[in-house]
Chain A
């Protein structure tokens, strides 16, 4: 598999975990500004997953 693709996939995993952690903290601290911006980031992360992670899954299945 393309090295860049693997690296993007890995970076996206980190981004998702960081976003989810940020949102959990924002919820605990009751900071809507962080929570709502976090939701927007998460929606973008999900689009990035469609562009990268799904391709990785298809190529991994083949391998």
Chain B
């Protein structure tokens, strides 16, 4: 490999033994820093009987207790306002404020120093360079530029690379499409849901995205969609562009990315992050190829750092080499869903994300769908609603086919309701398609 697609070939192709040594060195450095500067972690580590010198190998990392969002929610009302005892620097060293969306309770406030903000854009630059972003690109960012970190760091990473950034906040969806056309933008970043919403709006406006616009690559984040083959294919067809997935979190940073050679596999930036895949109950590592919960340590984040943060995302680790030349491990199929959404239905473990792959693989159906779980007497009843396109064909036959496909994929019998195109709720950022009404 030439290293031409690597932001830093020295790190991205480091032989595995050296990569693990780098992670250990960084974890040791980070835990020493955190123990000295974070009242939250000093207390937590003392209670667990862990000192920085305890960590002599990557196996020792498991002696550090996990950090959960619930813990952070509890402590943020105490200590240094408004961040709480996780802050390791004086507040006058904080240069940006962001917060989580609060989907699972009170939002977490996140402080970043000047150094950390540089670190954010380094992590993003690594993935954007891998996905072909170069100074010749004109990049459109259609997001709200609000308190959620979303694509803020992507904006600065584009600047760092030398791309021309068009900030697309404060415009309607229609105006965003017209601006992209007018400026002949070559790249776009959005959630998969918004990429589909833009496509639906363009169709209503009589715009053919693949021919009237010049977008040749799209980076998706915020939801698993771009690693789900059927969703990726729809986006690529509508836009006539390559679609890449990326994974990140307000607490974790921009930690995962698809390389151009292995669609559906997400590399973990292991030079900057330690990602573990653990069994949800035993908290022990699962074997390569088994699904588990992702736990992340950003190894270089300083102002408000995290050790072993439980992301509540699900993934399946693969260590085999990638033809792109990177030695970083990969997640097969990207992020596979949220642990919070994983639920037992009639004794079977069910992930609502699995429905998306089925619905979007059927051309006669629109992009939107809804999954509703409710009680019918003592029994759990699962209903999938999808939109039938106007020329979608025989609805009865399609319904039967869909029921069979869903049964094969989920292992569950599902009711299927086909509704008219355009009737289900639309989303502009992250979609909420699953309702558990039990």
Contact = CB atoms under 8 A, between A and B. Distances in A.
A18 interface: no
A50 B122 contact: yes
A62 to B, nearest CB: 7
Contacts of A21: none
A58 B22 contact: yes
A43 B118 contact: yes
A46 B11 CA distance: 16
Contact of A58 (B18, B119, B272): B18
A50 B10 contact: no
A38 B119 CA distance: 17
Interface in B1-33: 8, 10-11, 14, 18, 21-22, 25-26
B309 to A, nearest CB: 20
B407 interface: no
Contacts of A51: 8, 10-11, 122
A44 to B, nearest CB: 6
Contacts of A61: 21, 25
Contact of A46 (B22, B26, B118, B272): B118
Given A58-B18, A62-B18, A47 B118 contact: yes
Given A51-B8, A51-B11, A54-B26, A43 B114 contact: yes
Contact of A39 (B21, B114, B122, B272): B114
Interface string A24-63: 0000000000000001101110110011101101110110
A5 interface: yes
A59 B18 contact: yes
Interface in A6-29: none
B18 A50 contact: no
Interface residues on A, range: 10 to 19
A55 B114 contact: no
Contacts of A57: 25
Given A55-B22, A58-B25, A62-B18, A5 B10 contact: yes
Contacts of B8: 51
B283 interface: no
B25 A47 contact: no
B122 A58 contact: no
Contacts of B118: 43-44, 46-47
Nearest to A5: B10
A50 B118 CA distance: 11
Nearest to A52: B10
Contact of B11 (A39, A43, A55): A55
Given A51-B11, A55-B10, A46 B21 contact: no
A59 B14 CA distance: 10
Interface string B97-136: 0000000000000000111011100100000000000000
Interface string B159-192: 0000000000000000000000000000000000
B300 interface: yes
Pairs of residues from A and B, 9 with the lowest C-beta to C-beta distance, nearest first: A43-B114, A43-B118, A43-B115, A58-B22, A55-B10, A47-B118, A51-B8, A58-B21, A58-B18
